[in-house]
């Protein structure tokens, strides 16, 4: 089963780079600052996609299914659901999409993750590894 991992965030905004760190540990291939419409064509080439993203409101690291949903306006900053919607409707994506939320607490300017985000990245990596193994 072909799987794409996409890390979203800005590593120069402290914990916003948590997804990039998780992707690095997972041996992933795609890191972006934000989701754009162009990613939809790439997603369509895979059976499963896992978006990884830092989230100040996540509470704990978790993975949830993403259903395609049209965005409110067509811009160059989209949600995972909006990108999946584009992939489904423009490129016939029929795979599964998931979002791994990684809690962060410090989104200020600077490099490096807070201790809390580092621990949450470790938890997210464990979840993502289990998620990948479940697919076979």
Query: Where along the chain do its domains lie?
Result: 3-135
State which H helix or E strand residue 42 sits in.
helix 39-43
Judged by DSSP in three states, 35 sits in: strand
What's the pTM? 0.93
The helix-helix angle for 18-26 and 115-135 (nearest 10°) equals 40
List pLDDT tens digits, range 69-97.
Answer: 766 555 546 899 999 999 999 999 999 99
Class of domain 3-135: alpha beta
Task: Give the bridge partners for 7, in sequence order.
Answer: 31, 52
């Amino acid at each position: 089963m072909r799987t794409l991992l996409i890390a979203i965030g800005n590593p120069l905004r402290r914990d916003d780079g948590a997804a990039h760190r998780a992707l690095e540990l997972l041996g992933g291939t795609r890191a972006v600052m934000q989701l754009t419409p162009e990613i939809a064509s790439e997603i369509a080439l895979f059976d499963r996609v896992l978006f990884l993203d830092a989230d100040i409101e996540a509470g704990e690291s978790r993975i949830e299914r993403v259903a395609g949903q049209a965005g409110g306006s067509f811009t160059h900053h989209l949600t995972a659901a909006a990108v999946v919607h584009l992939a489904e409707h423009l490129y016939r994506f029929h795979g599964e999409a998931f979002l791994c939320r990684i809690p962060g607490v410090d989104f200020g300017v600077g490099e490096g993750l807070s201790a809390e985000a580092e621990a949450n990245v470790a938890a997210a990596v464990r979840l993502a590894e289990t998620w990948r193994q479940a697919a076979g």
